[in-house]
Structure 1
Amino acid sequence: MPDVRMASPQGKWILLTTVLGSSMAMLDSTVVNVALPRIGEDLDANLSALQWTVNAYTLALAGLILLGGSLGDRYGRRKIFVIGVVWFAAASLLCGLAPNTGFLIAARTLQGIGGALLTPGSLALIQASFHPDDRARAVGLWSGFGGIGAAIGPFLGGWLVDGPGWRWVFLLNVPLALLCVPVALRHVPESGDGSKHGRFDVLGAALGALALALVTYALIEARGGSLIIAVTAVAGVAAGIAFVYVEKRRPDPMMPLDIFASRQFTAVNLVTVCVYAALGGFFFLAALQLQVVSGYTALQAGTALLPTTVLMLLFSARSGALADKIGPRIPLTVGPLVSAAGLLLMLRVGPDASYVADVLPAVFVFGVGLVILVAPLTATVLASVDVARAGLASGINNAAARAAGLIAVAALPLLAGMSEEAYRSADAFDAAFDRAMPICAGVLVLGALIAFATVRPLPPDCRKPECLHHSSVTAPPLEGVRSRGRLEAEGKGDGGG
C-alpha cells in the first residue's frame, strides 16, 4: 500500500514534480492560442497553418493518451512520466527554433506524443505514492496549483509574445523539464501494475489516430474542394469503422467497447463532446478576435479570458458538492445553457470593444456555466462505471474531450465561412466570428438537451477529489489508472465515482 505522507519532504517533492509535469502540458494548451496571430505574421502562415499549429498537438495527444496510460501501468509510471517530460521538452525546443510552419507543425506533433506520455502519469503518480489518508489532500493541492498555472498561462503567454517573442511560449518548457526530471528520479517511487502482460493495442491506437488525422485534414483543407479531400474524408470514416471493429474483436483492446453498455457513460460522453467542441472552437477564435478585430495586444487578450479559469478554480469544488446533493441532471442541463448565453454575448465584442462593457460580461457568464457543469460532468463519468474501470472511463472521457476540441478547431472556420486569409482582415474575421459563436452556442444547447433527456441520478455520492477540483479549460481531469487488485485491497467503498 502507498505510504508517503503529505507532510514529509518526499511528499512535497512528489507534489512539486507532478505539478511541474502537468503544468507543462496545461500551459502549452492554453498559451499557444494567444500566440497565433504573431506566429502567423512571423512565419507568413495562412489560417490552415494556424489550425494545424493547434491541432497537430491535440491530434497526437487525443490519439495516444490511452496508450500512454497503459505504458505507465506496464513499464512503470515514473519511467514513462520522465520519458514524456524529456520528450515534451525536446519537442518544445524544436517548436521554439522552428524556421517555418511545416517544421513547427511537425514539432507540435512530437509535443503531443510527449504530452500523451506524461499527462496520464501526473495524477497517477500521486494516487500510487501517497498514503490513502493523505491522497485527497494531495490531489486537491495538485489540482489547485495546476489551476493557478492554468490561470497565469494566458497572461504569461501574452507577456512572452509581446516581450521576448512567441518562441519563448515553447522554450519556457525546457527549464521546467530540467527541474522536473531530477526531482522525479530522486524522490518519486516507481509504481506500476505487474499483472498486466497482454499485448499493447498498437493497431487500435494507430487506427484511432489515423481516423482523427484524416478527418481533421479533410475539414481543414475542405475549402479547396478537390477530389483528394473527399477521398481523405471517406478514408477517415473507414479508419474509424476499422477502429471500432478492431476494438470489438481484440481480447485486450485499448478502448473496450463494452464500457459503453452503460447508457449513463455513453450519454455523458456525448455531453462531453458537445461541451469541449464548443470550448475548443471558442478559445481558438476568441484570442484571434480580440487581437485581430478589437486591437488588443497578446497580453491583453490573454488576460481578458482569465476570469473563466479563475471562476473554475474558486468554485468547482462547491459546484461538485451541490451536484452531489441534487444530482447531475440539472447542472449538466443548466450549465451548457448558461455558457451558450455567454458565447452569444461575445457577439458584442467587435472593433474597439470595451473590456468592462463587452468582453467581461461574456467571459463571466461563460465561466459561470462551466463552473456549473464541469465538476458534475467528471463525477458522473466516474460514477457511471464500476470502480475498477474508473481510470479507463476517465481516460476515454479525456480523449473524447480532446478529440472534440480537435474537430471543432478544424470544422468551425469552415462552417463560419472563413477564408485562408480571414485573420489578416479585421472586417472579414469579425463577420466570420459573428457566424461562429452561434454555432458554438448551438452545440452547447444540444449538449444540454442530451443531458436533460438521458442523465439520471447517481449511485452513492462521488467522493473522489478529482471530481471536485477542476480548473483546466482544455479537458476533464485525467484520473490515474489503478489496477483492480489494488482497488479491491483499498476497498470498493471509497467512491464509485
Structure 2
Amino acid sequence: MPDEIHPDGLPLPQRHFAVGAIAIGIAMAVLDGTVVNVALPSIVAELGTTPSAGVWVINAYQLVIVALLMPLASLGERVGYRRVYRWGIALFTLGSLACALSHSLPLLVAARVVQGMGGAAIMSVNGALVRHIYPDSQLGRGVGFNGLVVSLSAAVAPSLAAGILAVGNWPWLFAVNVPFGALNLWLALRYLPRSEQLARPFDWASAVLSAMMLGLFFIGADTFTRGGGALPAAIGIAVAIAAGVFLVRRSRRDPAPLIPVDLFRNGVFALSVSASVCAFAAFTIAFVALPFYFQQVLGLDQVSTGLLMTPWPVALGLAAPIAGRLSDRASAGVLGAFGMLLLAAGLALLTLAGPEMGAAGIAWRMALCGFGFGFFQAPNNRTMLAAAPRTRAGAASGMLATARLLGMTVGASIVALVFHLAPARAEPVGLAIATGLGLAAALLSGLRLSRRAKEGATRRA
C-alpha cells in the first residue's frame, strides 16, 4: 500500500505506476523549460512587448527553479517527498493553466513563477522518489530510465513546440499540460511511496541564504551572458558568494543541513558532484557552440544543423538505460570515466572537422558524444543517490539537480565570454574548452575508484 514505508523499493505493480507518475512530471518540467524558447518570438509579437522584456518568460521559470531546488529538497526530508511532489504537480498544472489564459506579459511572467515553483518541487525530490521506488539492487535501472525520459523530452521539445504552433497559437503550449498534470496528480496521490521523515524543524534562514546564493549567481551569470554589464553581473555573483559562505558556516553545526555539507564529507559524493558540474558545463558549451560551428564554419543551413544536432540526444537516450543497468553491477567510476572520454573524443573530432566532412561523418561524432554522456550521467547520478543515507535522499536529489543547473549556467557563461573575447575563433575555442571539461569529468570519475578503495580500507581497519 502507498501509506506503508517500503525499506527496499515498491512491490509490483505499484512500482510501475509510481514510475509513470515521476516520468510524466519530469517530462513536463523539462519540456516547459525548452518549448518556450521556440515560441518566444510569437509571444513577444502577440503581447506587444520587446524581446528584452519577453526573455523573462524564460528567466522567471528558470530562476525560481534554481532558487528553490535545495529548500524544497530539504522540506521533502521533513514532510515527505511525495507530499512535496504532489504539491509540485498541482502548482505546475495551475501555473500552466494560468499561462494559457494570460493576456499580458506581467500576468504571463507571474504564471511562469507559479509554474517554476511546481517545477522546482518536481525536480527537487524526483531522485529521492526513485531511491524509494526501486530496490537498491535496481537503483541504477531507475536512474537510467529517468535519464531516458529527460533526454527524450529534451530531444522532442523543439519539434513538439513547432508542431503545436503549426496548428494553434502559443497558449496551447501550456494548455496541453493541464490534462497530463491532472493524470499525473491522480497517479501521485494513489501510488507514490511514503518515506521516512526527519523530526527536525525546517531551517528558514538557510532556505533564504540558499535561494540568494543560487538565485543571485544565476542572475549575475545571465546578466553577463546577455551583455547586461560586467559590474551588475559581478555584484550579483559577489553577493551570491557571500551568501554561500554564510550558509556553509551555518550548515556545519546542523546534522542534516539544507546544503548537504555532511554529504560532501563523503569523497565519492563530492567527486560525483564535481564531475557532474564539469560534464554539464561541457554539454552546454557544445550545444550552444555547435550550431554556430555547423553553419558558420562548415557552411551548413539551418535545417541540416537541426537534423545533425539530433544524434546526440538520441544516442544519450539509448545509452542511459544500458549504463544504468550496468551501474547496478559495475563500477560507476569506470563507467563514468569511459563515458566522458568518449564525449571528449567526439568533441575533439568535431573540432578538427573540416568543410569537406559529410553529414554521416558529423552524425556519428555527435552520436559518440551523446553515447558517452549517457554512459556518464546514469552511473554518476546513481552514485550520488546511493552515497547518501535514505533519510538524506532529498539532499542528494536536490544536489543532483543543482549540480546539473550550475554546470549549465557555468557553461553558458563560458560560451558568452569566448564569443566576446575571441569572436573570430569562438566556435573551435569553445569546443576545445568543452573537450577539456569532459576530460576533467573523466578524471574526477576515475578518482572515485581510489577514493572508494581508501574509504573501504579505513572501514576495515
- TM-score tier, shorter chain, comes to 0.7 to 0.9
**Aligned match of 1:315 in 316, 319, 332?**
319
| Counterparts of 1:176 and 1:266, CA distance in 2 | 36
Confirm or deny: 8 A CA contact 2:332 2:380 kept in the other structure: yes
Q: Secondary structure at the match of 1:199?
A: coil
**1:254/1:337 Cα in 2 relative to 1: closer, same or farther (>3 Å)?**
same
Confirm or deny: 8 A CA contact 1:201 1:252 kept in the other structure: no
Percent of pairs with identical residues: 28
Give the aligned residue type for 1:296: Q
Give the aligned residue type for 2:248: V
Give the aligned residue type for 2:369: F
| Counterparts of 2:104 and 2:435, CA distance in 1 | 35
Q: How far 1:342 sits from its partner (Å)? A: 3.0
| Counterparts of 2:145 and 2:72, CA distance in 1 | 24
Q: How far 1:85 sits from its partner (Å)? A: 1.1
Q: How far 1:135 sits from its partner (Å)? A: 8.7
* 1:6 aligns to 2:12 (yes or no): yes
**Aligned match of 2:221 in 212, 219, 222?**
219
Give the aligned residue type for 1:392: A
| Counterparts of 2:421 and 2:105, CA distance in 1 | 20
Give the aligned residue type for 2:302: Y
| Counterparts of 2:112 and 2:353, CA distance in 1 | 30
| Counterparts of 2:357 and 2:433, CA distance in 1 | 22
* 1:437 aligns to 2:440 (yes or no): no
Question: TM-score if structure 2 supplies the norm length?
Answer: 0.77
User: Superposed, which structure 2 residues align to 1:137-286 within 5 Å?
Assistant: 149-185=153-189, 187-188=190-191, 191-194=194-197, 196-222=198-224, 223-225=227-229, 227-250=231-254, 252-284=256-288
Give the aligned residue type for 2:218: T
| Counterparts of 2:399 and 2:144, CA distance in 1 | 22
Q: How far 1:325 sits from its partner (Å)? A: 6.4
| Counterparts of 2:292 and 2:117, CA distance in 1 | 26
* 1:456 aligns to 2:458 (yes or no): no
Give the aligned residue type for 1:437: L
Question: TM-score if structure 1 supplies the norm length?
Answer: 0.72
**Aligned match of 1:381 in 379, 384, 396?**
384
* 1:57 aligns to 2:61 (yes or no): yes
Task: List gaps (5 residues or longer) in structure 2.
Answer: 454-461
**1:35/1:283 Cα in 2 relative to 1: closer, same or farther (>3 Å)?**
farther
Q: How far 1:91 sits from its partner (Å)? A: 2.6
**Aligned match of 1:80 in 72, 80, 84?**
84
Give the aligned residue type for 2:117: I
Task: List gaps (5 residues or longer) in structure 1.
Answer: 420-427, 460-497
Q: How far 1:203 sits from its partner (Å)? A: 1.9
**1:227/1:242 Cα in 2 relative to 1: closer, same or farther (>3 Å)?**
same
Q: How far 1:275 sits from its partner (Å)? A: 0.5
Confirm or deny: 8 A CA contact 1:382 1:393 kept in the other structure: yes
Give the aligned residue type for 1:216: F
| Counterparts of 1:403 and 1:221, CA distance in 2 | 15
Q: How far 1:274 sits from its partner (Å)? A: 0.5
**1:14/1:321 Cα in 2 relative to 1: closer, same or farther (>3 Å)?**
closer
Q: How far 1:123 sits from its partner (Å)? A: 5.7
Q: Secondary structure at the match of 2:450?
A: coil
Give the aligned residue type for 1:210: M
> C-alpha deviations, 1:73-131, integer Å up to 9, x for none?
43344433222112112333444566677765554443322112123455655665789
How many residues end up aligned between the 2 structures?
A: 441
| Counterparts of 2:191 and 2:326, CA distance in 1 | 35
Q: Counterpart of 1:471?
A: none
Confirm or deny: 8 A CA contact 1:265 1:381 kept in the other structure: yes
**1:107/1:408 Cα in 2 relative to 1: closer, same or farther (>3 Å)?**
farther
Q: Counterpart of 2:459?
A: none
User: Superposed, which structure 2 residues align to 1:359-378 within 5 Å?
Assistant: 360-378=363-381
| Counterparts of 1:353 and 1:100, CA distance in 2 | 47
* 1:336 aligns to 2:340 (yes or no): yes
